[in-house]
Amino acid sequence: MPMDVEFAGEVISWRGPAPHHFVAMPEPLSAELRDQPELSYGWGCVPVTVTVGRTTFQTSLMPKDGVYLVPLKVAVRRAEGIDVGDEVLVRVRVGAPARR
């Protein structure tokens, strides 16, 4: 059964080998997902469909420091004019892919 959540968060950057941009899912929502390990395909990652603005895309939530991070692809950030420090509204569907 799909699970839909919506939250706002600040875009952060992780300066690993290549810079990546994320929005952290609030702890209560992250805890709800952690309580359903069957949703993960491994390493705690959870496949999801995400909508930011008018852009919908497939990705996987990544666990980090007790919360899940929503990766924001370059194409999404460009299409929506998103940069580090911006607050964005994120809609996440866990389970069945979103209909297009």
pLDDT digits (tens, 9 = 90+) for 28-87: 999 998 888 888 887 888 999 999 999 999 999 999 999 999 999 999 999 999 999 999
CB under 8 Å to 69, separation ≥6 — which residues? 22, 23, 24, 25, 61, 62, 63
> pTM to 2 decimals?
0.87
Q: Domain limits at 11? A: 3-94
Give the domain CATH number at 31.
2.40.30.100
Distances (CA, A) of 43 to 47, 58, 60, 75, 95: 12, 18, 11, 25, 17
Domain count, the chain: 1
Whether 100 is in a domain gets the answer no
